[in-house]
Structure 1
Amino acid sequence: MIIEFFPQLMTVGVIAIFMAISPGADFVMITRNSIFYNRKSGLFSAVGVSVAIWLHVAYSIAGLAVIISSSVLLFSIIKYCGAAYLIYMGYKTFRANTSLDIEPSQGSMSGWAALRIGFITNALNPKTTVFFLSIFTQVVEPGTPVLIQVLFGAIISLAHLIWFSGVAIFLTQPRLLSAFKRSKNTIEKIVGGVLVAFGVKVAFHSN
């Protein structure tokens, strides 16, 4: 059965890779948690993003993707909640007084908090919602088995986990952290401003 759907699986895999590596709110949030706290926070946030993918998979398999795609109100609610969260996190980062700790054990963010931030950021990300609307309304056909749809989700989730874990590991190299620490205040303002900008863009982007 899997061989029969191999072309679709490959298509989803390629799209998932480009989806994960394209700049967006998830990337900025992983960057924020990695360099302002520690590698552990970045990795837990990556897991949160990966877990959130399954929320999109669940409503897509349940058929809610069609409802969301046809309901301006429902999609708008998701969009504005996501925008508000990004603006809130951006404001907190802009006004933050965090410490850039080279030693992973010195971070002040718990693993659960980092995972939660990654999860919420992706769950309320309209970009991800639109991506799943495309996948499950165009690639998935009425006769596509649930197992294959779950495999689609697994591929997308794994792609995000691998990419963002790699981002967290790369950004927390000691030499990079030393450079970040010297420009701590500037980086906080830039990251905070970018998150707010993403939030504003999401809020005013046309459906």
Structure 2
Amino acid sequence: MISVEFLLTSLVIVLIPGTGVLYTVATGLFISKRASVFAALGCTLGIVPSLLASTLGLAAIFHASALAFQIVKYLGAIYLLYLALVMWKSSSPLAIDKNSNKASAPSVIAKGFLINILNPKLSIFFLAFLPQFIAPSVQQPLTNMLVLGGVFMLMTFFVFVVYGILANSFSQFIIGSEKLSSAIQKFFAGSFAALGIKLALSEQTR
């Protein structure tokens, strides 16, 4: 059931930088290694609703209903723009702070969770992606999709953790330079804004 093709394809998809990777890397850079693990956990947990929606067929609602898709899409875009704004102003938990190691774990996890749960394309992705690796003759396709989805989530978590830890290894060098740290914060802020705008302008997949 879990083929090499599925593992390789999933790994490539997980490795591609997106909002989750961006958030985890930023957390590793500007907060701590521990916080980046929580960020990875939050982003991974944010996959659960989309996975369940896909396996239960609820993703079809996003595919068929323009209103449902638009509502979730704009909520996600607004949230990404909000993250961009607070990072630009250096007033969010992602900002450099000597006491940042004490950042609230629930807060870090919640932000990562919201980033993924407010992306309607994620559930549509699972609906289109997972069935490709399930044979038509399988008697319990729902169970198979949940297992494959679980494996995808584990890969997501471990890859994001690696991203976060690697980012944290450069944090002291970056924090040591105010100009560099400020420039990188603005880069992340701009990236969140760009992804928010991209999501807002995205269309349903027909």
| Shared fold, TM over 0.5 | yes
The equivalent of 1:115 in structure 2 is 109
Greater Cα shift, 70-79 or 181-190? 70-79
The partner residue of 1:22 within 16, 31, 34 is: 16
Give me the TM-score of the superposition, normalised by structure 2.
Answer: 0.85
Contact 1:12 1:156 in 2 (8 A): no
Give me the TM-score of the superposition, normalised by structure 1.
Answer: 0.85
The equivalent of 1:188 in structure 2 is 185
1:54-65 equivalences in 2 (<5 Å): 54-65=48-59
Matched, 1:151 2:147: yes
The amino acid of 1:131's aligned partner reads F
The equivalent of 2:42 in structure 1 is 48
Contact 2:42 2:112 in 1 (8 A): yes
The amino acid of 1:202's aligned partner reads L
Matched, 1:34 2:28: yes
- Is there any run of 5+ residues in structure 2 with no aligned partner, and where? none
* Deviation per residue, 1:35-70 (Å, 9 max, x gap): 111111111010111112221111112210222222
Matched, 1:167 2:163: yes
Matched, 1:198 2:195: yes
Contact 1:34 1:171 in 2 (8 A): yes
**Shift in alpha-carbon separation, 1:172–1:100, aligned structure 2, 3 A:** farther
* Deviation per residue, 1:96-123 (Å, 9 max, x gap): 153255xxx7524211111111111111
**Shift in alpha-carbon separation, 1:34–1:113, aligned structure 2, 3 A:** same
Contact 1:28 1:191 in 2 (8 A): yes
Contact 2:31 2:96 in 1 (8 A): yes
- Superposition CA RMSD, Å: 2.1
* Deviation per residue, 1:126-165 (Å, 9 max, x gap): 4423321312565555954332111111111011101100
2:108 and 2:201 map into 1 onto residues whose CA distance is 28
**Shift in alpha-carbon separation, 1:58–1:206, aligned structure 2, 3 A:** closer
1:60 and 1:206 map into 2 onto residues whose CA distance is 18
2:123 and 2:42 map into 1 onto residues whose CA distance is 16
1:203 and 1:6 map into 2 onto residues whose CA distance is 35
Deviation (angstroms), 1:192: 0.5
Three-state SS of the structure 2 residue aligned to 1:96 is coil
- Is there any run of 5+ residues in structure 1 with no aligned partner, and where? none
